[in-house]
Amino acid sequence: MAHLMSKWQVLTILLCITAIGVFLRHPNSGMFSHDFQKPVANSCACGKCLSENDTWFIKRFNPSVRPFLAANCHLSKNTFNWWKLLQNERRSFTTYRKTVHMLFQIFPPSPDLLEPRPQQCRTCAVVGNSVNLKGSHYGRHIDVHDIIIRMNYGQTKGYEADVGNRTTHRIMYPESATDLDSTTHLVLFPFKIQDLEWLSRAVTSRFPGKKYGSVKSVITANKHLVMVLNPAFMKYVHETWLDKKGKYPSTGFMAVVLALHICGKVNVFGYGADKDGNWSHYWEKLTKKNFKTGEHPGSYEYEIIQKLAKKRKISFYTRW
């Protein structure tokens, strides 16, 4: 018996030595692996391949689509013709190209993305404005992400416990413009040429051009941290992810798909109607109980987000 136990002990020691050797050669494998490794732009991220032979996801996720405009990014006329119909743009493709050219005389010629750290991938928190965030106590969890994307008027002051207080990227369009600090990226979602013109003038405090509505003519923002969503990306989200439902995607849904393209780990907070089916913001008192989602296929978008969570492509934090 003693001789038999000795053999088992030797075998156990040999197995342990082998396991340690494997771990030293591949420190991110197995049970000791880091949760996050690479940005989602590569085929694999956060220790696993996002596709995982998932035909539904593969059909929709196209890593070759460029999320942001850049000086060397040329929009096709076909895509421009789709984009110009979103808000009845009447000016020509030539005017669009001239406007974009001028844009990159002022702002960085390529988007500034946070580089992933060694052995970790980039993490994103996409923070919506739903009343579902109220009383959620998600604030601390949101604040630990590498990239924290907020939209439009989403507020933090006074709501830190539920929504956090850090913002790295603020999505807006002229009608929802707000002042930013010097460390926050302004991410413009443009729906017409006038939006691009507005950006150039509002950030540089030069606004001699035509104003429209109650849009802020000047905003505080760091012009070195300005990013502009590519209209081709908007078209891709509408046609590939939403099967052309609705007139165009909502800002919130485009933000989720954008995060899938720039981050390896995506956590989504503050989306959807409340438990009674009403759409409202966490900082406002609900006044219109019959308010719907307008031009956007809100219910369908919500179903897609839920499906992404079910397939473990994102983590979806709901309040109800």
**What are the residue numbers of the active site?**
248, 296
72 phi/psi in degrees, rounded to 5 = -100, 15
239 phi/psi in degrees, rounded to 5 = -85, -40
Q: Which residue has the tokens 């959620």?
A: 136
Binding residues: 87, 129, 152, 212, 248, 252, 272, 281, 296
The residue type at 262: I
- How many angstroms separate the Cα of 42 from the Cα of each of 39, 62, 149, 260? 6, 11, 21, 11
Longest dimension (CA), the chain: 94
Q: Pick the closest to residue 272 from 295, 301, 248 (CA basis).
A: 301
Task: Retrieve residue 215's tokens.
Answer: 């849009």
**By the 8 A CB rule, do 38 and 264 touch?**
yes
Binding residues for substrate: 87, 129, 152, 212, 248, 252, 272, 281, 296
**Sheet hosting strand 123-127, strand order edge to edge:** 226-228, 185-188, 169-172, 147-151, 123-127, 265-269, 315-317
- Residue 274, classified by CB atoms within 10 Å of its CB into exposed (0-12), middle (13-18) or buried (19+), is middle
- Please work out, in degrees rounded to the nearest 5, the angle formed at the alpha carbon of residue 105 by the alpha carbons of 103 and 111: 70
Q: Which helix (H) or strand (E) holds 22?
A: helix 2-25
**By the 8 A CB rule, do 41 and 64 touch?**
no
Task: Retrieve residue 169's tokens.
Answer: 């990227």
